[in-house]
Amino acid sequence: MNLLLLVPGDFFAPGLARLTGRRHRHLLDVLRGTAGATVRVGLLDGPCGEARIRSAGPDETVLEVALSAP
């Protein structure tokens, strides 16, 4: 099972996270994420949940994140 790890610095607004670099490329190339798709996510040392891919461009992916209890 793939779980995309997020860190607090990924969040730029409540419930919204931005991925760039290797995690952005992994989401697109390995997990084949596209706008509207959902992926399992987890906050490093925190709760897990799901995220909907709001947008996926050439340089970044924006996620709508909903975390639940650990």
The predicted pLDDT at position 70 comes to: 62
Where does the pLDDT of residue 67 fall: very low under 50, low under 70, confident under 90, or very high at 90 and above? very high
Handedness of CA 30, 32, 33, 35 (dihedral sign): positive
Q: What is the 3-state secondary structure (H, E, C) of the chain?
A: CCCEEECHHHEEECCEEEECHHHHHHHHHCCCCCCCCEEEEEECCCCEEEEEEEEECCCCEEEEEEECCC
The parent domain of residue 46 ranges over 4-67
pLDDT, one tens digit per residue, over 2-35 is 789 999 999 999 999 999 999 999 999 998 999 9
How many domains, the chain? 1
The predicted pLDDT at position 65 comes to: 98
